[in-house]
């Protein structure tokens, strides 16, 4: 495993749409392992492959309940609504935003071996999945936030 460099905004790769994964082999497994290690090292809760410079539909998420890897994720159901406690991004350090997202979602995709998988998520986990799937579609939280501000402003208001 290796820690990869996280691509920083405004790198244009962050605005591109990632390609579906069709080969489930050792290189994909290494990418997933490296992404998890990179996410943990950066103290994040999610990471999408474009954030490490790879335009493939691959994400990792861990909000503290254990690692979830998903290949070719697709949100197939959404319900409810939540506005974030400030949402941030490893590719946009220093900025946070208030983003309106679904409160409950169902995500379908594949595991690292190509087997179908499904995750039903609510609250913070739903938010993390939506954020990472947005990355695969070239959408950043600053594109859809109702308010974006520096993290220091949040601390000053507290």
Catalytic residue positions, numbered: 132
Chain centroid offset of residue 46 CA:
5
135 is in an annotated binding site: yes
Residue entry with tokens 């080969």: 23
Q: Omega into 11 within 30° of 0, i.e. cis? A: no
d(CA 1, CA 142) in angstroms, rounded, equals 31
Q: Omega into 73 within 30° of 0, i.e. cis? A: no
76 is in an annotated binding site: no
138 is in an annotated binding site: no
- Which bin fits 92, alpha (ψ -120 to 50), beta or left (φ > 0)? beta
Backbone angles phi, psi at 41, to 5 degrees: -60, -35
- Known binding positions for Fe cation: 89, 131, 135
């Amino acid at each position: 495993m290796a820690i990869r460099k996280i691509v920083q905004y405004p790198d244009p790769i962050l605005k591109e749409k990632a390609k579906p994964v069709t080969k489930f082999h050792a290189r994909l497994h290494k990418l997933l392992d490296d992404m998890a290690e990179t996410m943990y090292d950066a103290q994040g809760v999610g990471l999408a492959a474009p954030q490490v410079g790879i335009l493939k539909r691959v994400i990792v998420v861990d909000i503290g309940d254990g690692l979830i890897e998903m290949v070719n994720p697709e949100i197939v159901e959404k319900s409810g609504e939540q506005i974030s406690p400030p949402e941030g991004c490893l590719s946009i350090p220093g900025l946070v935003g208030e983003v309106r997202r679904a409160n409950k979602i169902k995500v379908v995709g594949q595991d690292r071996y190509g087997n179908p998988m499904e995750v039903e998520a609510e609250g913070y986990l739903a938010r993390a999945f939506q954020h990472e799937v947005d990355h695969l579609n070239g959408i950043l939280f600053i594109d859809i936030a109702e308010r974006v501000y520096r993290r220091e402003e949040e601390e000053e208001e507290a």
